[in-house]
Amino acid sequence: MPLALTEPAERRRYTISARLATEQVLIDYTRSRGWGREVKRHEATCRRLQHLLDELDDATQ
């Protein structure tokens, strides 16, 4: 059964969290291949996504 995300902030948080999880998997994958530049790119994306989640948390408090 899909999650009932009724509030726009909840939907954004869910979408960003899912993308963050994907990026973390990609970090592990690229690290295992020795692709340092790609690791850095995915780490930067994770930092930005985490920043967006933090901003959402601040806005809802």
Question: What span, in angstroms and rounded, lies between the C-alpha atoms of 31 and 41?
Answer: 11
Q: Divide the 61 residues of the chain into consecutive groups of 10 and give the mean pLDDT of each group.
A: 63 94 98 98 98 86 67
- Give the span between the Cα atoms of 43 and 24, in whole angstroms: 8
Nearest to 27 by CA among 46, 44, 42, 16: 42
| Phi-psi region at 37: left, alpha or beta (left = phi > 0; alpha = psi -120 to 50) | alpha
How much is the pLDDT for 8? 81
> pTM for the full model?
0.82
